[in-house]
């Protein structure tokens, strides 16, 4: 890259300047924030609740722990963690997008979840937390929207306590060709139309489908986590690999 030339990255299938991606992603989530929960239920036929429940079970949070729910959006995981860690623990709901953070804060407060939850607007690539701070970090359906995923993984590893656990729940690559074909048809033909009907925004959901295809597959992400300093990294495929839960530890 010559001097003065901007670094490039992907925004869905488009190539954009890396320093512009965060703003483009922000526009998507500003647009969909108000009906994000409804669309999740409709798009996944409610299966996203199973994926998130499996993540909570795998996290094995205990009373007194400190949890970071990164790219936590509307707070589904935060609500569960808040009850598990109790009054002596804490949960930080962090998201780069202020619209999503506001929706999450309002939803959790409406549920009476106040005491042990804090809200931070933060970029995953440079987390504003001390070293060795959290027992558990989760990032659910957020990593694919990060511009520099390697930097984000290093940042997460830094703020984990020794013995801490990182869980990444993200769309991935189906294991079987038939599932891949059905998934592609559904993602590119059906989901944007749902987005148009429910949020009056087909373009944002077309981007979300494209961003899934550009995200690293299971083994690539596993190696990226290892390169970031995490250990005992493995993953579990869910729904034939449409989604995968990666986990790694800091020692």
Feature table: binding site for S-adenosyl-L-methionine: 74, 95, 123-124
Q: Which residue do the tokens 């483009």 mark? A: 24
Please give the DSSP secondary-structure letter assigned to residue 2. Answer: -
Nearest 5°: the CA angle 226, 229, 234 is 35
Write out the DSSP string of 17-34: EHHHHHHHHHHHHHHHGG
Q: What stretches of 68-189 show up as alpha helix (H) in DSSP?
A: 76-85, 98-110, 149-159, 177-185
Binding-site residues, in ranges, read 74, 95, 123-124
């Amino acid at each position: 890259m010559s001097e003065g030339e901007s670094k490039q990255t992907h925004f869905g299938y488009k190539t954009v300047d890396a320093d512009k991606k965060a703003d483009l992603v922000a526009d998507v989530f500003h647009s969909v924030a108000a009906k994000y929960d409804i669309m999740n239920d409709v798009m996944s036929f409610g299966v996203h609740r199973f994926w998130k429940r499996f993540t909570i079970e795998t996290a094995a949070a205990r009373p007194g722990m400190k949890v970071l729910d990164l790219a936590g959006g509307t707070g589904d995981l935060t609500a569960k963690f808040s009850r598990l860690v109790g009054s002596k623990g804490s949960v930080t709901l962090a998201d780069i997008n202020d619209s999503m953070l506001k929706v999450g804060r309002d939803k959790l407060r409406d549920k009476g979840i106040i005491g042990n939850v804090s809200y931070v607007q933060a970029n995953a690539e440079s987390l504003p937390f001390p070293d060795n701070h959290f027992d558990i970090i989760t990032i659910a359906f957020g990593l694919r929207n990060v511009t520099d995923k390697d930097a984000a993984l290093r940042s997460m590893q830094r703020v984990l306590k020794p013995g801490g656990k990182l869980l990444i729940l993200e769309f991935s690559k189906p294991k079987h060709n038939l599932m891949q074909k059905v998934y592609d048809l559904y993602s590119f033909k059906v989901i944007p139309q749902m987005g148009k009907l429910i949020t009056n925004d087909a373009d944002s959901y077309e981007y979300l489908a494209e961003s899934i295809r550009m995200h690293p597959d299971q083994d690539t992400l596993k190696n990226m986590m290892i390169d970031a300093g995490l250990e005992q990294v493995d993953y579990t495929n869910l729904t034939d690999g449409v989604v995968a839960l990666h986990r790694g530890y800091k020692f």
